[in-house]
Structure 1
Amino acid sequence: MQPKERLVVIVGPTAVGKTALSLSLAERLDGEIISGDSMQVYRYMDIGTAKASPAEMAVVPHHLIDIVDPDEEYSVAHFQQMATRLIREINLRNRLPFIVGGTGLYIESVTHRFQFSEAEQDPELRERLRRMAEVEGLQSLHRRLADIDPITAERLHPNDVKRVIRAIEIYQLTGKRMADYQHRTEHSPYDLYMIGLTMDRELLYERINERVDHMIAAGLVEEVRQLLDRGYDPKLVSLQGLGYKELVPYLYGECSLEQAIAEIKKRTRRFAKRQLSWFRRMPEINWFDLSSPANYPTIVNTIHRTLAGKFHHTPNI
């Protein structure tokens, strides 16, 4: 029987320390990193999506970063197809693939081979639903989805209008819920090791607040301004991302910068909570608590030894 392809996955809430750990492990284990973040695929959106720096990406090869423009179509099905191909190619190079990120649906679609609906599109239905969102509000549209597909509604934020509409569209066209298609296989098709990072909630929230302040200092406001100057519509899925959506009203003079920053921090903390809820229900994850900086070197060495043993790798000296 042909051996399974190897795959390491590092998940956890935003700001917990996934990037630093992935760089350390991938460098020591001849790894290549596949971004498992639904926002890092977009060009011109570097600061708000917390992409690895050019210097960091020079240390370890990175994939699925800066591959589409902010107004281009990109979905979980695209990610699944691209990531699956990359995992195969990286294994063929006798290197170790790491998927690193916090977008649970994207990552689980690969680790457990979700089957996606191939239902056609109905432009008239989509337009009616878009008008409904504009007239009655995003919550009203989201409640409509919750009535027919509560599982998908729980996964999707009301602001994710595009995916909410698609989920309703699938039900209307097929009579089946999106959740019916997105079932996970019981066992992963990969020789898989999943790492989950967590830390004390108050400490995590403090790190989130500090990260937002750092992003603002690094030029996030100017990054959003340049996206608008390029002509990108604020209603695009890409510009509904955390850190972008909240700064548009400030740039339009509808709120103060302090209000916008406070909103980013609040929504990011809520997002981190949702991320943890998603990952907590995945039994394959091996959890590591990064609350104590003093324990960090021991945790890194423990994970390194585990991966080297599991994948029969001779560490780089």
Structure 2
Amino acid sequence: MTQRLIAIVGPTAVGKTKYSLSVARTFPCEIISGDSAQVYRGMDIGTAKAAPEEREAVAHHMIDIVDSDEPYAVSDFQDRCRKLIPEINARGRFPMLVGGTGLYVESVLYDYRFADAAGDEEARRRWNAYADEHGTHALHAVLALRDPAAASRIHPNDRKRLVRALEIIDATGEPLAEQAAKREKTSPYDLCMIGLTMDREKLYQRIEQRVDAMIGEGLVEEVRSLLGQGYGRDLVSMQAIGYKEIAAYVEGECSLDEAVAILKRNTRRFAKRQLSWFRTMPQIHWIDVTDDAKFGTHSAAINDIIFATYQLP
């Protein structure tokens, strides 16, 4: 029997957490976070993790599973989710993947096989030797010339992913995005996917309000604590939106007002990229949630889609 999987996707600040908790009040669900930064312990405010009482009400997975200095790749995320989904189904519950990190979400929803990607040992040795001689930033510059889209997603200090990307490009002669586009997006699951969207200006307003709320909740103190524990700004985790901008303020490179303005701008840009990514995915049932006063109506529409997908009574 094909494993069931509900997914709720959409840009940051659109209301994914609120609507997923609403779904969990109707269906027996366990939530799997599809956010690449929520896996890190101690990074709570800036990643907008569900509140402790929300996690007590509904079981949550893929939150607080590694320290901020531990390497964690999308393939690790995929492996763990592939084990979780049948376990949750076996308990007679619906696994519900909720998040906005497009690559992480797609790696679970579709039949991505990272381990099978083409590559060769000689190219790997050559690019590692290049990094030894010139540094990882030079390696990143090479990738930016050969595959700008991949370079924009990989931090200049993430040597392993930089080498892997160049190795695959050498072997295939194609940028990673072109290879991904050729993958047939078929899901191994009995998938019900909901996409949340809203008016762009309303979304941007919510983003600004969220950033202000994070500052009020102690984001500066959270970032200062992480830096004080020795988690350097060069870590992949500390490059997450919200952390790199506030870290610049904490270390005296800009004022708090400047850091907050940059954070709001970067979050708006991120939301735009998220929407573009999800628009290319098949099988999504889109719900426009612009009107906050119609939360009940929107929730009912989501529930109806789930009832229809699984032919529930």
Is the TM value for this pair above 0.5?
yes
Q: Deviations over 1:171-225 (max 9, x none)?
A: 3577665447645334211111111111111110000000000000000000000
Measure how far apart 1:307 and its partner are: 1.0
Match of 1:233 in 2: 232
Residues 10 and 286 of structure 1: CA distance in aligned 2, closer, same or farther (over 3 Å):
same
Match of 2:211 in 1: 212
Distance 1:292 1:19 in 2: 17
1:151-166 to 2 correspondences below 5 Å: 152-153=150-151, 156-157=152-153, 159=155, 161-162=157-158, 163-166=161-164
1:32-47 to 2 correspondences below 5 Å: 32-47=30-45
Given candidates 93, 97, 109, the residue that maps to 1:99 is 97
Distance 1:207 1:129 in 2: 43
Match of 1:270 in 2: 269
Give the gaps of 5 or more residues in structure 1: 134-139
Match of 1:254 in 2: 253
The answer on whether the counterparts of 2:137 and 2:156 sit within 8 Å (CA) in structure 1 is: no
Distance 1:115 1:66 in 2: 25
1:54 aligns with 2:82: no
Q: Deviations over 1:113-166 (max 9, x none)?
A: 112146565443444564444xxxxxx935x3254345635xx44656524454
- Measured on the aligned residues, the alpha-carbon RMSD in Å equals 2.3
Q: Secondary structure at the match of 1:246?
A: helix
Q: Secondary structure at the match of 1:109?
A: helix
Match of 1:306 in 2: 305
Match of 2:80 in 1: 82
Amino acid at match of 1:60: V
Residues 11 and 129 of structure 1: CA distance in aligned 2, closer, same or farther (over 3 Å):
farther
The answer on whether the counterparts of 1:8 and 1:98 sit within 8 Å (CA) in structure 2 is: yes
**Range 113-122 or range 52-61, more displaced:** 113-122
Give the gaps of 5 or more residues in structure 2: none
Q: Secondary structure at the match of 2:244?
A: coil
Match of 1:136 in 2: none
Match of 2:129 in 1: 124
Distance 1:19 1:226 in 2: 26
Match of 1:243 in 2: 242
Q: Secondary structure at the match of 1:99?
A: strand
**Range 250-259 or range 161-170, more displaced:** 161-170
Residues 213 and 196 of structure 1: CA distance in aligned 2, closer, same or farther (over 3 Å):
same
Distance 2:66 2:183 in 1: 27
Measure how far apart 1:252 and its partner are: 1.2
Amino acid at match of 1:281: T
The answer on whether the counterparts of 1:152 and 1:178 sit within 8 Å (CA) in structure 2 is: yes
Amino acid at match of 2:90: L
The answer on whether the counterparts of 1:12 and 1:275 sit within 8 Å (CA) in structure 2 is: yes
Q: Secondary structure at the match of 2:196?
A: strand
Amino acid at match of 2:231: Y
Match of 1:13 in 2: 11
Match of 1:137 in 2: none
The answer on whether the counterparts of 1:80 and 1:110 sit within 8 Å (CA) in structure 2 is: yes
Count, aligned residues = 303
Distance 1:186 1:158 in 2: 23
Measure how far apart 1:94 and its partner are: 1.0
Distance 2:14 2:133 in 1: 40
Amino acid at match of 1:5: Q
Residues 173 and 83 of structure 1: CA distance in aligned 2, closer, same or farther (over 3 Å):
same
Match of 1:24 in 2: 22
The answer on whether the counterparts of 1:160 and 1:240 sit within 8 Å (CA) in structure 2 is: no
Distance 1:180 1:108 in 2: 15
The answer on whether the counterparts of 1:13 and 1:198 sit within 8 Å (CA) in structure 2 is: yes
Distance 2:131 2:32 in 1: 32
The answer on whether the counterparts of 2:185 and 2:282 sit within 8 Å (CA) in structure 1 is: no
Distance 1:125 1:28 in 2: 55
